[in-house]
Chains A and B, each alone.
Chain A
């Protein structure tokens, strides 16, 4: 049965076979047991005669009686259920102004996202200009090398601001997530809305604007209707199902041409120059033992510094003592090295505990030693 099914599938009338009903063990189906089409437009492999595809399955009835674990307590659920949904479900009490957000941004965000959320060095931009204007760029396609492309950022692209609140609260600042209060999070969302020139009730947000749980749902993002299929509301799942039932919606192809599939010689696009080839480690097909690396604690500390500390301690943008600045470090060391270690381990000012690393105390101290040594 399986074989003949495959044979049939390789003919052109694949779609018409959707309702092949008499299936033997191991067959594939386009529909679930409830008769609905598979939601992603593909196949499902129901258990038949103890098999799903080529896998044997335990079909003992007692299988369903296996149960372990215990009830989650209300406090446990409260502690973990911190998502924020598009309809405002999960927004906490609290408030914050654009001005307060600006200050927090300077202290905790600008070191990666740069001034005014401009982004750079691998960290995303939080705005690229007026969000309503940038939203219009989403129709652009870069079909030629000099074409302008779509600008995708929070203001121009994201459908709901709830996502920003949720993400900042649980994922930012990147080295120290879950460290911002609800008020601070409201303030940062307000600030990021303002630098995107998002209007609420037709008004741009000035420094005094205060965002809270109540007025949050008044935020209407410019690209709210920019996504397909429509997933919210009671028809969400069915909309998705219909969307993937039509290959045209997502670029699916069912044509299998075997001969003379295009006219003339192939039109070839090649890599420009050397392309992207700065790989670490470089590509090698040589079978040889690696040269022994001279590894020492100091090298490791240096590498850690460069990976995790230099982003703040490499420049004075963050107010952190700059490595190499003898005066700054002499001042720091007046407290005594033990105090310096402790401040670093616990975090101080804008610096998260251990600089956001997961080093043990000794390794962390080795990094501090490296920074001190380099600044003498």
Chain B
């Protein structure tokens, strides 16, 4: 038997095949390897067009797999090892302790990012917090300042919600020009998950929030002690304290044991490793709402402070630089698909352009369409091998439509760093390669 014969070399040969039944019948008589070399099936004539993946028995089809005791906490297939968060030195302090690792959105299916691929931004490294020694304190302008253990917190009735979290600097390095030949770095500072926790307003009902309380400081218990100021409106609307992420406890990178969740707002506001909430009549001016996370505009050099919601946005995830159309033939009919999201509400629709935004057609939404959540869009396209400028443009139920790059630059300039949501365009070449470009028309 000639298992190693390379059929694609146009060699016509004869092999014999073993069947499963033979295997079981003869295990008593042969070792597994001996069996493979001594099959007794009728010979099959192999031709060049036959796929060896089908003709040849694969090792996993002819031997035991792993016992159920292996990986009691499961892992992805080792063949998926290319699907991973990635880092670049440009976006990091020298020691990767105040840094970001971004999500391979080119490889994400549906609208839920697996916990191991959820993007990770931290300001002092990822702490390993003992949940038995972690407390949440709520104080300031409340009649009854409160301390909760994690067990006590989880006794509150829980809700589960699907929301994206996006770093407001997603796309931020590209205000002045495209920089990244990669969707993972151009748009991967975000992820979406199902979060489980409690509405903050449900805990506050019993604490006697004073009428002069207008702002809430949220502070983390990690080494950065990062704080952010949240207006009371959001606290009493849909702010949550979450401990669950896609069916399990939050990952350490996402704030284990608890983080603040402010649906649709800047990821940085959703303080991780949450330890303290203080209510006050005045805002706090924490470091990450003055030095950073403020958007310098062309309005006389003024910077927008307290920039909350990430505005309506979208990107085509297939094709993209990582997943080009180089293997397509003219005439192939293919799905263009991508992600749309809005921190201001729910996606209403997405348009697609093949000429860089001069003319548009409406794409179809697909799957669940939820507030402040990733929404998939789809468009079936007949590939003709012509060069394209492929753009997507989302709109939300608050009436906002993604601006063109030119409209956005005219409106706020190019120095904002944060909250860039101009239309994203891929250049598709005649060969089907995909490049990151911007259309300035």
Contact = CB atoms under 8 A, between A and B. Distances in A.
Interface in B130-171: 137-139, 144-149, 152-153, 155-157, 159, 161
Interface in A204-252: 226-229, 231-233, 236-237, 240-241, 244, 247-252
A233 B280 CA distance: 12
A339 interface: no
Interface string A127-149: 00000000000111111000001
Contact of A40 (B308, B349, B408): B308
Contacts, number: 376
A287 B79 contact: yes
Interface residue SS majority, chain B: loop
Contact of B302 (A149, A226, A289): A226
B238 A266 contact: no
A358 B80 CA distance: 30
Interface stretch (A101-109, A193-201, A255-263): A255-263
B287 A166 contact: yes
A349 interface: no
Nearest to B276: A80
Interface residue SS majority, chain A: loop
A162 interface: yes
Interface stretch (A50-58, A91-99, A184-192, A316-324): A50-58
Interface residues of A, number: 127
B336 interface: no
A86 B285 CA distance: 7
Given A83-B227, A123-B93, A276-B185, A227 B291 contact: no
Interface in B89-138: 89-90, 92-98, 123-125, 127-128, 137-138
Nearest to A255: B401
Contact of B82 (A57, A231, A287): A287
A281 B202 contact: no
Given A257-B360, A289-B81, A311-B94, A87 B287 contact: no
Given A69-B148, A158-B291, A268-B439, 9 more contacts: A40-B265, A43-B398, A71-B147, A227-B302, A231-B283, A255-B401, A263-B441, A278-B90, A289-B78
30 contacts: A6-B348, A6-B397, A9-B348, A32-B237, A39-B231, A39-B308, A64-B202, A64-B205, A71-B144, A72-B137, A80-B137, A81-B139, A85-B282, A122-B93, A123-B94, A171-B224, A227-B290, A231-B306, A250-B311, A252-B403, A269-B437, A269-B440, A270-B435, A271-B180, A276-B173, A276-B180, A277-B180, A279-B185, A286-B82, A289-B78
Interface of A: 6, 9-10, 14-15, 17, 28, 30, 32, 36, 38-45, 53-55, 57-58, 63-64, 66-72, 76-77, 80-81, 83, 85-87, 89, 112, 121-124, 138-143, 149-150, 152, 154, 157-160, 162-163, 166-167, 170-171, 174, 177-178, 226-229, 231-233, 236-237, 240-241, 244, 247-272, 274-281, 283-290, 307-308, 311, 358
